[in-house]
């Protein structure tokens, strides 16, 4: 079975000349359906850049990338509608959960559905299903400011799942949580990976969750310290 995320020799630099920073150097990686993969490394080692390249937010300088079996980048983007690609295939979860403060919990989830073309009625129904799946349906009418950190992060996960993406990208999702809530978030991400057969990639330097991953990769100065053995 092909990997959900297939990266080959991806490099990315910012700036030129003396100001040049090589954020990713020749990174190759396969991430399979149903797995939860951790990405760690010191600050500035390229973790967020790699996540943003996979999320089609940052364009690499060289290499190839396939998502869900579709070659989307080969030294340049091969798709013009990157926004649609992101909406349909990728779910993002961030540290600060960045829920929209003026929308309640279910509306925050519904936004992603409406952007993808759902009616308001459909979006409400699906948002409530997702909140139930994540065990926070009782908080559906709460505003973000009224939610605990753990609740807000579950709402953010529900939003990331809204369009049934096969790829879930999480940048430090447990950094603001105590170890019990961090554990709950990781359990939910594992449940999602298994039940939806998605590939979940979690950037973290949170040592208390290192035992929760199927594999952990370490970035140092933009290169993988423990590369996989990959077919060409």
Nearest to ligand ADP of 158, 169 (CB atom):
169
When asked if residue 45 is in the footprint of Mg ion (CB under 5 A), the reply is no
Nearest to Mg ion of 35, 48 (CB atom):
48
Among 38, 46, 55, 63, binds ligand ADP (CB under 6 A): 46
Q: Closest residue to Mg ion, Cβ-based?
A: 48
Closest separation between CB of residue 95 and Mg ion, Å?
Answer: 9
When asked if residue 198 is in the footprint of ligand ADP (CB under 6 A), the reply is no
Closest-CA residue to 26 (of 61, 67, 76): 61
When asked if residue 66 is in the footprint of Mg ion (CB under 5 A), the reply is no
When asked if residue 14 is in the footprint of ligand ADP (CB under 6 A), the reply is yes
Q: Print the SS3 string covering the chain.
A: CCCCEEEEEEEEEECCHHHCEEEEEEEEEEECCCCEEEEECCCCCCHHHHHHHHCCCCCCCEEEEEECCEEEEECCECCCCHHHHHHHHEEEEECCCCCCCCCCHHHHHHHHHHHCCCCHHHHHHHHHHHHHHCCCHHHCCCCHHHCCHHHHHHHHHHHHHCCCCCEEEEECCCCCCCHHHHHHHHHHHHHHHHHHCCEEEEECCCHHHHHHCCEEEEEECCEECCCCCCCC
Q: Which stretch binds ligand ADP (CB under 6 A): 37-45, 68-76, 92-100, 132-140?
A: 37-45
Closest separation between CB of residue 44 and Mg ion, Å?
Answer: 8
When asked if residue 210 is in the footprint of ligand ADP (CB under 6 A), the reply is no
Among 35, 48, 66, 140, binds Mg ion (CB under 5 A): 48
Nearest to ligand ADP of 46, 144 (CB atom):
46
Nearest to Mg ion of 48, 66 (CB atom):
48
Q: Which stretch binds Mg ion (CB under 5 A): 40-48, 54-62, 191-199, 220-228?
A: 40-48
Contacts with ligand ADP, residue ranges (CB under 6 A): 14-15, 21, 23, 41, 43-49
């Amino acid at each position: 079975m092909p990997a959900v995320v297939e990266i080959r020799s991806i490099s990315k630099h910012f700036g030129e000349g003396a100001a040049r920073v090589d954020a990713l150097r020749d990174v190759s990686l396969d991430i399979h359906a149903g797995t939860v993969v951790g990405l760690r490394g010191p600050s500035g080692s390229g973790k967020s850049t790699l996540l943003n390249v996979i999320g089609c937010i940052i364009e690499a300088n060289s290499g190839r990338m396939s998502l869900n079996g579709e070659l989307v980048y080969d030294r340049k983007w091969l798709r013009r509608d990157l926004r649609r690609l992101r909406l349909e295939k990728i779910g993002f979860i961030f540290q600060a959960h960045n829920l929209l403060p003026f929308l309640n919990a279910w509306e925050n989830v519904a936004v992603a559905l409406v952007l993808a073309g759902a009616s308001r009625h459909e979006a409400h129904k699906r948002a409530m299903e997702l909140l139930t799946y994540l065990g926070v349906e009782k908080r559906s009418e709460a505003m973000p400011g009224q939610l605990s950190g753990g609740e807000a992060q579950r709402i953010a996960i529900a939003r990331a799942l809204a369009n049934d993406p096969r790829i879930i990208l999480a940048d430090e999702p447990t950094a603001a949580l105590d170890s019990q809530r961090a554990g709950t978030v990781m359990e939910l991400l594992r449940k999602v990976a298994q039940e939806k057969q998605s590939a979940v990639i979690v950037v973290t330097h949170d040592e208390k969750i290192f035992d929760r991953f199927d594999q952990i990769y370490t970035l140092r100065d933009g290169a993988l310290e423990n590369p996989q053995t990959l077919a060409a």
